[in-house]
Amino acid sequence: MRVRINLVITCLLLAVGHIHAQSIWDGAHLQKVKQSLHQPYFSTTYQELVAEAEKLLDVQPLSVVMKEKTPGSGDKHDYMSQARYYWPDPSKPDGLPYISRDGESNPELNKLDRNRLGATAQRVTTLALAWYFSNDEKYAQKATELIRVWFFNKDTRMNPNLEYAQMIPGHHNNKGRCYGVIDTYSFVEMLDAVQLLEKSKAFTPKDSKQLKAWFGKLLTWILNSPQGQEEANQANNHSTAHDAQVIAFALYAGNVKVAQEVINAIPQRRIFTQIEPDGRQPHELRRTLAFGYSQFNLSHFIDIFLMAQKIGISIDNATSTDGRNFYKAMDFLAPYVGKDVKDWPYQQISEWDYKQQEFCKDLYRVFLLNPERTDYLKLYRAHRTIDWKDRFNLLWVKPDDVDNAYAFACGQLQFAMKCANKARKEAENQCKHRVIPRSINKDGSLRMIHPHDWCSGFFTGSLWQVYAYTNDDFWRQEAISNTWMIEEAKWHKGTHDLGFMMNNSFGKAYQLTGERSYKDVVLQSAKTLITRYNDKVKSIRSWDHNRDKWKYPVIIDNLMNLEMLFWATQETGDSIYWKIAVNHANTTMKNHFRPDYSSYHVVDYDPETGEVRAKQTAQGYADDSFWSRGQAWGLYGCTMCYRFTKNPAYLQQARHIADFFFGLPNLPEDFIPYWDMKAPGIPNVPRDASAAAIMASALYELRTYVSAEDSNRYQSIADKIVDSLNKHYQAEPETNYGFLLLHSTGHHPGGDEIDVPLNYADYYYLEALARKDAFKQ
């Protein structure tokens, strides 16, 4: 078989590559993270890391001499563990010899050394990372204490061998098996952490020298012992793990030659023998945890590739003449990501969800190794579950501004739910059935609203959007409970805003879960909404108030509710919803816009003739002014109408609106508009972050329908808006009742909701982030 290997080794790397350098981790990345711990994406994980380290400061160091049994050598300093999947034989009085139950762990393991070894490695890793990121020597001191007890101290140290690892009671005179050689795999990551400790005061040069010598001896044992040699000859993940350990221990002990030799043999000895041309790993697929072991083996390969990269060797693309390679194996598992276990054609008797997430992490690490595999990044982002406490975030993830914004949103919305739950218990809110947070009142209290309020769907919609980003079931459950609070609004015929209310909540829920109950609510809401349609006017009536002033008012905002109607026809096949939506859009196009493509807020019609009675701007400064949120609704609404109909008139209108608004000479440099672009007193007037967020979201969609040149221009504007919102309009964490954005304006002429947070600003901000995020996938 022919091997394609790119091998580049420099004398410098051979000489010093193993000194003060990470083997699997990327030291340069860790340094950047250390400088960015204030960023939302890292801050929670870092806080969790430090909290874990604090708990470890008082723990008793673990040692091999703590085990209840003594190995056959008679020396408790010899490491001893029991085979994981072997159990007492129920047909024998004494249970001996033990029998295999593949995939089922025997709790007797806890009595011996394996879990203590793993716990020690994990504790040292945690403490070393806490020291590195915080520079607090107490963590380094504790890590060093644990190392000395396990590895150095005369009374407690482990002998550097695995002679009694994974023994099976009643077999081989209770001697260890070759499989026990990989009991020390947790040391691989620990040694990366130890190398961080090199610069601490606590971990002395003597400690370093002793530990390197210890691992040098363990390496010699692994290479020369019958168990180690037998493990090296295994045909499955055991041999891969064996090699990963040998490479890691050799690099740490300074034996680069051994590491190099093992790495260079990986393609022929491991990749080409374990992976079929179609990507199957037969030795792993025969297990009861077939997906798990297939993933497990690939994770070892990734560790090896990363270590190889550190000494200038690239073997991840090595391919045999009949097409066997690592990426084929990755691609074999990839189609099952996000699927149910029943779709997996082999056995996986437990841990399906856990192993799915482990494979997602593998996808990300491979992308870092090979940035050309953007398909892996896309698959990772679509299916990974974000746990803000997982140190994977610190060790591997390279977040961008969108990731940090969502991390911020997660923290804020958790606080928002606490505030909302507290407010729901207040007597007045209970009495008036106010259940959803909308804004902040003039007196500083949280403004809660009834399900019939036009803003009732936005908070829930924000929760669904965070769930879509994180894939974390916590957010799904919170979104569900908040969504059903407003179900009664599906019957509410007194509002034109059922699209805002129900499509942005129940519609999001159906989109993300596919559960029929959500769909039924949105379809009923669509039926309710079209009862407000007048065929003479060919529009849906907006407001019912001020009947002495308006006969049949239609506001520019109402374009936004058409999305639910277009969708209803797609789902049911009933064209009535589509026809009403198109008629309303066309009437709005005809009457709401001025020659310069700015828009009025309100157009009043004669319901008997359909004739226009008046054109006004109720929530703007003046009838002829440019009320910013109104322009935003027009831009978004026309863009959305084009999405469904592909009528070029809507697209052209959306482009004209965008070009008009962002061509205004008095638009602020940060692109966050004044509440009205003709308001007296500019620039000393309130801004409207909600209008900016709506426009940014619309522009991200609009860019997908136009030429490359215009696409870049619209994206540049949207990026500028989002960047401004991220940097200057976010609330401080756990303030403002958990709202995300500050400085929005609701109804300035009415003296209501001026320079406050608004739940719809948050909703469209998150939507803009999601649409921006989609372009990098």
At 303, list the tokens.
Answer: 């560790």
Residues linked to residue 99 through DSSP beta bridges, in sequence order: 87
For residue 318, CA distances in Å to 5, 246, 295, 376 come to 5, 20, 19, 19
At 90, list the tokens.
Answer: 């129920």
Residues linked to residue 539 through DSSP beta bridges, in sequence order: 534
Nearest to 523 by CA among 565, 480, 494, 562: 565
For residue 477, CA distances in Å to 58, 451, 463, 482 come to 37, 19, 9, 9
Helix (H) or strand (E) holding 436: strand 436-440
**603 in Cβ contact with 553 (< 8 Å):** yes
Residue 497 annotated as catalytic: yes
Nearest to 421 by CA among 432, 436, 403, 401: 436
Helix (H) or strand (E) holding 17: none
CB burial of residue 523 (10 Å; 0-12, 13-18, 19+): buried
Detail the DSSP E strand segments found in 708-771.
Answer: 744-747, 752-756
CB burial of residue 723 (10 Å; 0-12, 13-18, 19+): middle
Give the integer Cα–Cα distance in Å for 92 and 98. 9
The vertex-372 CA angle with 369 and 377, nearest 5°, equals 75
* Max intra-chain CA distance, the chain: 103
DSSP 3-state of 492: coil
Give the integer Cα–Cα distance in Å for 393 and 24. 15
Annotated catalytic residue: which of 183, 192, 403, 497? 497
Annotated catalytic residue: which of 362, 557, 676, 762? 557
Cis peptide before 683 (omega within 30 of 0): yes
Residues linked to residue 212 through DSSP beta bridges, in sequence order: none
Helix, strand, coil percentages in the chain from 3-state DSSP, rounded to 5: 60, 10, 35
**620 in Cβ contact with 676 (< 8 Å):** yes
Residue 113 annotated as catalytic: no
Q: Which residues are catalytically annotated?
A: 497, 557
